[in-house]
Amino acid sequence: MSSAGTSNKPAPGHVSASGQLQQRRGLGDLIAKKPEMVTLGLLIAICIAVAIANPAFLQPSTLIDIGRASVVTGLFALGVFVILAAGGIDVSFTAIAALTMYSITLLAINHAPNMPIYVVFLIAVAGGIALGVLNGFLVYTLRVPSLIVTIGTQYLFRGGLLAFVGTTWIMELPGQMGTFGRISLLEFETANGATVSLPVYFLILPAAAILTWWIMRRTLMGRAIFSLGGSPDVTARLGYNVKIVHLFVFGYAGALAGLAGIVHVTANRLANPFDLVGTEIAVIAAVVLGGARITGGTGSVIGTMLGVLLVVVVDNVLVMVGIPSTWQRVFVGAFILLAAAFFVTRQRKFKPAK
């Protein structure tokens, strides 16, 4: 970074120009090394802009709404982040969530209405892992881009759910599944007397984020995942078992998807088999906006969480600043493209020489 300043001793007239250059280098380095700072900056900028346009945004109830809305997206995004880091992509996680959550609700109603909630979660995670591992196995064995494989499994899982499991909404959730979503962590009253509460299930997201951070940064598996995303050939030559890594990433994403499915059911107190599928793009966008490159090998948990917040805030906020909801997709789409272009050009321009 300082090489630009020292190598060519600037004449007095050029001081401002080279100083500017140095500053831009610094910014470029920062973006290349910590892309999540850009996400954070964007998030803060949007929040300030919205708060000026509509002060109602700064109420605690809005923040709690955003926190609540980011749980399911956040769990999905952590799974997608792990897969993206390993150089793959997954679009079937919403179908995994829909299939596990609906099947388990049916199972609970028909066979074990008094099942404790932690058993429900365990079964959901196990189901998610099974479906995810199937994904990983197929991606590894078929050796085709994981996008195509997971498009196939998405249809397989969702078609299987709607064709063989059921298509009706379940409004009456059994036992603890019905009450879990209502337990609140903190509660307070707003100015107009309505009670706002942050539900207990919100805690699942930070817990999952910390677990993901630990796996990615503190274990050998995390190293293997980033390495696989960087270069599959080198990873195999280093002695990592590439097959196990594949099974792990997709299985882990499946587990998070199963978890997200149950959270979705208990939060909405409704099991609708048509839900969730169709939100994949927003989740992938969130992870990419958090600085993970879609070609693999990069990304961070913090960035992913910031990306999720960004997408959730943009989703919730457009209406508040007076942009009609019909234009929402245009903005999100343009946002994805702009952010992607920004990250790509920045990373290329300021990449240190190899």
Partner 1 sequence: MRFFDGHLTVLIGLIITLMTAGAIVSDGNYLSLFNLQSMAGQVPEIGLLAIGVLLAMCVGNGGIELSGIALANLSGVVAATIAVSFFSASQDPEIFSLIFIVVALATGFLGGLLNGLLIAYLKITAILCTLGTQMLFIGLAVAISDGRSVRVGAPGPLYEIGNGLLFEIPISFLLFIGVACIIGFVLRYTPFGMWLMLNGSNPKAAEYAGFPKNKVIISTYTVSGILSSLAGIIIAARTINVKWDYGTSYLLVAILIAVMAGVKPEGGYGRVICVVLSAITLQMMSSMLNFMGLSNFIRDFAWGALLLGFLGIGRFRLLDLINLQKHAISASVRSPHAQK
Binding partner 1 (rule: CB under 8 A), the pick from 54, 340, 346, 350 is 340
- Give the span between the Cα atoms of 282 and 280, in whole angstroms: 6
Whole-angstrom Cα distance, residue 311 to residue 285? Answer: 8
Q: Which stretch binds partner 1 (CB under 8 A): 96-104, 116-124, 282-290, 299-307?
A: 282-290
Instruction: Please name every residue paired with 198 in a beta bridge, in sequence order, or none if there are none.
Output: 186
Stretch that binds partner 1, among 46-54, 66-74, 151-159, 254-262 (CB under 8 A): 151-159
Kindly state whether residue 144 participates in binding partner 1, applying the rule CB under 8 A: yes
Q: Which is nearer to partner 1, 11 or 163 (CB)?
A: 163
Please, which residue, 31 or 198, has the CB nearer to partner 1?
31
Q: What are phi and psi of 189, to 5 degrees?
A: -100, 140
Among 217, 218, 329, 349, binds partner 1 (CB under 8 A): 329
| 158 near partner 1, judged by CB under 8 A | yes
Residue 262 backbone phi and psi in degrees, to 5: -65, -40
* 25-31: long-range contacts, CB 8 A cutoff, minimum separation 24: 25/1, 25/350, 26/1, 28/346, 28/349, 28/350, 29/1, 29/350, 31/343, 31/346, 31/347, 31/350
Site membership for partner 1, residue 235 (CB under 8 A): no
Query: Is the distance from CB of 176 to CB of 116 less than 8 angstroms?
Result: yes
* 196 bridge partner residues: 188
Q: Exposure pattern of 292-302 as b/e (b: 16+ CB <10 Å)?
A: bbbebbbbbbb
User: Binding residue for partner 1 (CB under 8 A) from 167, 168, 219, 241?
Assistant: 167
Binding to partner 1 by residue 85, rule CB under 8 A?
Answer: no
Nearest approach in angstroms of CB 102 to partner 1 is 13
In angstroms, what is the minimal distance from the CB of 148 to partner 1? 6
Handedness of CA 312, 314, 317, 322 (dihedral sign): negative
Per rule CB under 8 A, count of chain residues that contact partner 1? 47
Decide: is 302 part of the binding site for partner 1 (CB under 8 A).
no
| By CB under 8 A, residue 130 contacts partner 1 | no
Tokens linked to 216: 């990615």
154 binds partner 1 (CB under 8 A): yes
As measured in angstroms, the least distance from the Cβ of 63 to partner 1 is: 26
Secondary structure tally for the chain: helices H, strands E: 15, 2
Tell me how far, at minimum, the Cβ of 100 lies from partner 1, in Å: 17
Rule CB under 8 A: which residues touch partner 1?
Answer: 89, 138, 141-145, 147-149, 151-160, 162-164, 167, 281, 284-285, 288, 294-295, 324, 326-334, 336-337, 340-341, 344-345, 348
